[in-house]
Amino acid sequence: MTAIADVLGKIWTLPNTIAGLLIGFFALAFGARAEISNNAIVFSRVRFLHRAFTLGNVIFNPRETFSGHCPTYHSVAQYRRCGDAAVLEYVELARHEEAHTYQYQVLGPLFLPVYALTQILPSPTPFERAADIYAKTGTGWWPTGLTNRHRP
């Protein structure tokens, strides 16, 4: 992503980021910590969440620090089918959420409605699969297909 595209994307998704900052400032009053990391303002120790969540260039993290790993959506779907925990594959949580910030910069205010529509698809949905690919490889944060379910 070029510098100009990056700035334009951040402006385009600013409504999401502002909403995120409002929630983040609220969370600060309840013990959250803020830092700049992974293309976002990250609020960690957000205790009213059970999992990380991205809103524009804001990431909410329920954990103590913005580190650690999370299972890929693809491996969780496999695990649900077979019940064997050995199939679970983990990626860096921060890189996964960072991918969502780039996705937001492309779709801006359209991201949440489009993301919501993808929830009717089987897991992993395109945005989550792309975020896992980015977390694993450092590239491929944009979903490239709806039917390519067996991509890593």
Contacts with Zn ion by CB under 5 A lie at 128, 131
Side chain identity at residue 5, one-letter code = A
Nearer to Zn ion, 98 or 128 (CB): 128
Nearer to Zn ion, 21 or 131 (CB): 131
Q: How far is the CB of 91 from Zn ion (least distance, A)?
A: 10
Nearer to Zn ion, 28 or 149 (CB): 149
| Contacts of 118 by beta carbon, 8 Å cutoff, 6+ apart | 125, 126, 127
Q: How far is the CB of 133 from Zn ion (least distance, A)?
A: 11
Q: How far is the CB of 96 from Zn ion (least distance, A)?
A: 5
Give CA–CA dist 102/140, Å, rounded: 10
The pair phi, psi for residue 13, each rounded to 5°, is: -100, 10
